[in-house]
Amino acid sequence: MTEELNTGLLLYLPYRAMETRVFEELAAAGFDDITPSQARVFQRIAPEGSRLSDLARQAGITKQSAGFLIDQLERLGYVHRVPDPGDGRARLVRIAERGHRSVEASRAVVSRVEAEWETHLGARRMAQLRRILADLREITDPWR
């Protein structure tokens, strides 16, 4: 029976399922000291490094909260901070060695889950889903 679930909740369910899977399998792979909140910020770090304020804006939290989380990630060896060559006020948060390994591991989990979804939906509808979501992003992602 197709219940009348609103589209928001319909989006949330698979999102949550993905997040849960990634954390479970990441923990099993030895990255058991990272929390969902930390990961949501970590995920946004650009390859060349990001400023704290940018991360905060993108994650939708205050810069104080972002600073708190980045402090922890730094202590755990996932990131480090370097001075921003272009701006003396700022520092760049960059992914450290352990961070790169965790990225690699989580990428593998994501691929696995996406493959499962594709098996269930079929390749054509999976591609449609991604295309529609990417399109929707234009009006729902305030940051790019």
**Footprint on this chain of a second copy (rule: CB under 8 A):** 2, 5-20, 22, 43, 60, 107, 110, 113-114, 116-117, 120-121, 125, 128-130, 132-141
d(CA 87, CA 109): 37
Is 102 a residue that touches DNA (CB under 7 A)?
no
For residue 110, the one-letter residue type is V
d(CA 44, CA 78): 13
C-beta of 18 vs 61, nearer to DNA: 61
Q: How far apart are the first and last CA of the chain?
A: 37
Q: Provide Rg for the chain, Cα atoms.
A: 17
Instruction: Work out which of 89, 120, 124, 144 binds DNA, going by CB under 7 A.
Output: 89
d(CA 119, CA 113): 10
Q: Answer with the entry of a second copy, DNA, none that 15 interacts with (C-beta below 5 to 8 A by kind).
A: a second copy
Q: Answer with the entry of DNA, a second copy, none that 67 interacts with (C-beta below 5 to 8 A by kind).
A: DNA
51, β-bridge pairs: 92
CB of residue 24 to a second copy, shortest distance in Å: 13
Q: Which two tokens stand for residue 137?
A: 């992003």
C-beta of 100 vs 107, nearer to a second copy: 107
List residues near DNA by CB under 7 A.
35-38, 40, 51-54, 60-65, 67-70, 72, 81, 84, 87-92
